[in-house]
Amino acid sequence: MTADAAPGFRRTAEAIRFLRAHATDPPSLAHLAAHLGVAPAVAQREFRRLVGISPKRFQQDLAVQRAVGLLDRGADVLEASLEAGLSGPGRLHDHLIRVEAVSPGEWKSQGQALVLVHGCGTSRFGLVWVVLTARGVHRLVFVTSPAEGDVLLAATQARFPRATFRPDPQAAQVAINRIFALGVENLTLQVVATPFQLAVWKAILALPAGATTTYGRVATAIGRDSAQRAVAQALAANPVAVLIPCHRVLREDGALSGYRWGCALKLGLLAAEEPGSAGPAPSA
């Protein structure tokens, strides 16, 4: 991450929070910039670069539509997608992003046959730590510093003590660039997961970019109507940010609810997936 990338990301996260807090009385760009302590042109440029739309468009689209319009649309799309298996432009479908669990043999051998390539790189949403295997993406986590990536690496090494770990920042950046680009397809995720977690993750992969759903509707979609808490836990355990789009799941009342990497980032990801934005999330 460049020296000014982290402050820019923090300012944009604060801009999102500020705009949400003033949704009923939208501030001008000059007012927003004054709150952030930067020139209006800087506020506009950083917001557009990291979120994909202007602050004004963000206010217009999200303040009114997020809690109601997208929620209703998401419910319909999820049900139709799972029943009909539809795919098309602008969506993450499980035929294009395949989710594979680490095999029982790989788990039992403590990763003896696994080679895990890891490194930090930059995305339009800040610093990202990624772990890759020969079969696909194993971890993708937003971090605040390379040191946080080192902590996550230690936890992964503890899980697979006999695996081979190879640092490769260049390969990590190439993977991150591809993941956050438009038009990406045929990605495979190789993750540690229970059958229930896989079912939840595959259900939300059926959602198109820009659509949302609720924990309850995901539970119903996988045939576990009363398992809303378990669905929330499965989403919290998501090891690959963005690729398994848990940011598209809202509370039953339409609120953003908790997000592992912060509600500001969750809102930014949703905003960037709006039609007309330069969306950051993979699509095909």
Q: For this structure, is 120 an active site residue? A: no
Which residue is catalytic, options 117, 130, 176, 246? Answer: 246
DSSP string over 145-208: SHHHHHHHHHHHHHHSTTSEEEE-HHHHHHHHHHHTSTT---EEEEE---HHHHHHHHHHHTSB
Q: How far apart, in Å, are the Cα atoms of 227 and each of 26, 109, 155, 176, 216? A: 38, 32, 28, 33, 8
d(CA 82, CA 64): 28
Query: Which pairing describes strands 164-167 and 115-123: parallel, antiparallel, or unpaired?
Result: parallel
Structure token pair of residue 148: 């946080």
Sign of CA dihedral 137, 140, 180, 85: positive
Q: Give per-residue burial for 77-103: e unless 16+ CB within 10 Å, then b.
A: bbeebbeeeeeeebbbbbebbbbebbe
Q: Minimal CA–CA distance to 218: which of 69, 70, 82, 65?
A: 82
d(CA 96, CA 30): 43
Contacts of 42 (CB under 8 A, 6+ apart): 33
Secondary structure (3-state) at 122: strand
Q: Minimal CA–CA distance to 250: which of 215, 217, 274?
A: 215
Active site residues: 246
